[in-house]
């Protein structure tokens, strides 16, 4: 029986669809990043949106490009290694994404008073998440991963995301009330992401939930574009 070191030519329609979607997503991120930076003189919030989108796209590309190549060319040990590295990098950049989103909220809504403990909790949970991602026990470069460490590293990530979710719920009566939709988008992203973490190794079809999760991120970026067009 051939080992995975030899390329496995697969033409799985589901994988091809996912690959095409990933290509569209990365193009969307590239275009929106350029739009934000070209309009960065409008406000500090636009500059932060540009940084947010750049980090999101850069981190996801490390993960998605190997997946795209696997879908079109088949598996190989080299691509699997790069895919594992991409998962590690994107796990960190996703955490940074929510830190920047917190500062976007603070920049756009300085009139909303909150307890400083929320920012403290967000930062502590984000740092714990990043540190946990760096432990070798995560088995990033092995196909089976480590389900227990998937739970460990994502518990603080849930807290980080919940902080932003809560903050954007508070913007309903402000001039930029449409940014309230950040909260449902954050919720959808986590609702889709957690089953992938818990079950995708055993049930690969669950991995398709990453598509609506990615769409939720595109909605968040789209809300940033709406903000950019209004100021």
pLDDT the model gives residue 206: 86
Residue 192 lies in a domain: yes
Cβ proximity of 83 and 60 under 8 Å: no
Q: What is the DSSP string of the chain?
A: ---TTS-B----HHHHHHHHHHHHHHHHHHHHHHHHHHTTTS-HHHHHHHHHHHHHHHHHHHHHHHHHHHHHH-B-HHHHHHHHHHHHHHHHHHHHHHHHHHHHHHHH-TTS---HHHHHHHHHHHHHHHHHHTSGGG-TTSTT--HHHHHHHHHHHHHHHHHHHHHHHTTTTSTTGGGGGHHHHHHHHHHHHHHHHHHTTT-GGGGGGHHHHHHHHHHHHHHHHHHHHH-
Residue 4 lies in a domain: no
pLDDT at 10 over 60: no
| Boundaries of domain holding 60 | 13-230
Tokens standing for 175? 């001039």
Residue 146 lies in a domain: yes
Of 179 and 146, which is predicted with more confidence? 179
Rounded Cα distance between 60 and 221, Å, is 14
Rounded Cα distance between 231 and 217, Å, is 22
Residue 20 lies in a domain: yes
Residues of the chain with pLDDT > 70, as a percent, come to 94
pLDDT the model gives residue 6: 41
| CATH number, domain with residue 67 | 1.20.1070.10
Residue 179 lies in a domain: yes
For 14-23, the pLDDT digits (tens) are: 678 888 999 9
pLDDT at 1 over 60: no
For 29-84, the pLDDT digits (tens) are: 999 999 999 998 989 999 999 999 999 999 999 989 888 888 887 777 777 788 88
Residue 3 lies in a domain: no
- Min mean pLDDT across 59-68, 105-114, 178-187 is at 59-68
pLDDT the model gives residue 24: 95
pLDDT the model gives residue 11: 57
Of 168 and 66, which is predicted with more confidence? 168
Global pTM reads 0.89
**Domains in the chain, number:** 1
């Amino acid at each position: 029986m051939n080992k995975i070191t030899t390329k496995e030519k697969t033409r799985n329609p589901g994988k091809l669809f996912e690959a095409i979607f990933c290509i569209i997503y990365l193009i969307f991120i590239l275009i929106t990043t350029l739009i934000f930076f070209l309009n960065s003189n409008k406000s500090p919030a636009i500059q932060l949106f540009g940084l947010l989108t750049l980090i999101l796209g850069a981190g996801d590309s490390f993960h998605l490009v190997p997946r795209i190549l696997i879908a079109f060319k088949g598996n190989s040990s080299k691509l699997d290694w790069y895919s594992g590295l991409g998962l590690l990098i994107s796990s960190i950049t996703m955490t940074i994404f929510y830190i920047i989103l917190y500062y976007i909220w603070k920049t756009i809504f300085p009139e909303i008073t909150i307890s400083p403990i929320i920012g403290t909790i967000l930062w502590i949970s984000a740092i714990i998440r990043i540190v946990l991602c760096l432990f070798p026990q995560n088995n990033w470069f092995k196909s089976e991963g480590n389900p227990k460490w998937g739970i460990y590293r994502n518990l603080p990530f849930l807290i980080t995301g919940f902080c932003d979710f809560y903050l954007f719920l508070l913007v309903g009566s402000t001039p930029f009330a449409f940014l309230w939709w950040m909260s449902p988008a954050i919720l959808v992203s986590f609702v889709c992401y957690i089953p992938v973490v818990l079950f995708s190794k055993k049930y690969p079809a669950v991995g398709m939930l990453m598509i609506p999760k990615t769409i939720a991120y595109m909605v968040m970026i789209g809300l940033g574009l709406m903000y950019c067009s209004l100021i």
